[in-house]
Amino acid sequence: MVLNPSMSYAQAASLSLSHAMQRDATIVAMGEDLGRGGVFGQYKGLLEQFGADRVIDTPISEAGIAGAAVGMALAGLRPVVEMRIIDFALCAMDEIVNQAAKARYMFGGQGRVPVIFRMPIGLWSGSAAQHSQSLESWFTHIPGLTVLTPSTPQNNYSLFQSALSQNDPILYLEHKELWNINEAVNTRQSIEIGTAHRLHSGSDLTLVSWSSAIHRCAEACDRVSSQGVEVDLIDLRSLWPWDKEMVFTSAAKTGKLLVVHDAVQVSGFGSEIAASSAEATGCHIQRLGAPRIPVGYAPVLEEQTRVGVEKIVETILHVVERAYDT
């Protein structure tokens, strides 16, 4: 076991990419602000380690970056593409959705596109409506794309390692408010894409979440435990494919499912989890996400779009009480 006693979410990502680039000379990193280590320090030290031929600082042109990456992948390279934040990736939707996601299918498997599109998601305090969105459900809808959402430094090391070994396009969504969280990271620990992780065991309610929201859910579970409510808390980690077996088994056991995410609740990926679980198990379902309003710049407006611990606690207790009343 190679254990790093304390490493941040950003450091874990940088180390994971460094290890992969040492093993595989076809891996290149490209995108905005890589020359200074990335906006959040997630590429720190890589330019000095691998040089400008493999850590490529690009112009601010998301469509151009994504298009170039698709071409490079079809020619045999394995690009890791930095979109800076997911909001900016909307400028590259054609290249991601119609080119990267479709090439393998349209050419009968003769062309593979092993690209990782890194798109930081979520609220970034004081950054307002165009820099704070969680758009994961846009991409889970697209056949041909894998969507990953690491929630911890360990996840960010191990899931990145798994992503770097795939031969198809991956949306790798790191939350902007997680970059500075720290924990010990075992560089020998692997995480299989499509497997969830149980953080807390319980029989009163199944709670499913991912990314930054899972930390608030964990705090909420601790609070309701003191009131005698024991929650089965599941961190999906991978949104597509997602671990239906773990979720369905838990929902069938508890009979109640709550899905919590930072994205707008309307048409969020929580709707897919809730509907699929209800169809498979007949469980009671409840969703909790952000209201369908733009993120405000003023702190009082920004706060209205946050899914906080108090709201999660309130919703857990509501779901449990409602189920017992029926």
As annotated, the active-site residues are 131
243 Cβ contact partners less than 8 Å away, ≥ 6 residues apart:
194, 195, 196, 234, 236
d(CA 237, CA 179): 16
Instruction: Say which residue the tokens 């909420």 belong to.
Output: 220
For β-strands 170-172 and 182-186, DSSP reports them as unpaired
- DSSP-H helix ranges across 81-148: 93, 103-106, 136-140
CB 153 within 8 A of CB 7: yes
d(CA 280, CA 160): 31
Which long-range contacts (C-beta less than 8 Å, at least 24 apart) are formed by 106-113?
Answer: 111/74, 112/73, 112/74, 112/167, 112/168, 113/70, 113/73, 113/74, 113/168, 113/169
Instruction: Say which residue the tokens 């990335």 belong to.
Output: 38
Half-sphere exposure of 188 (CA within 13 A, CB side): 3
CB 174 within 8 A of CB 151: no
Q: Which helix (H) or strand (E) holds 81?
A: strand 78-82
d(CA 14, CA 242): 25
The residues that bridge with 258 in the sheet, in sequence order, are 207, 286
**Nearest 5°: CA angle at 185, between 183 and 189?**
140
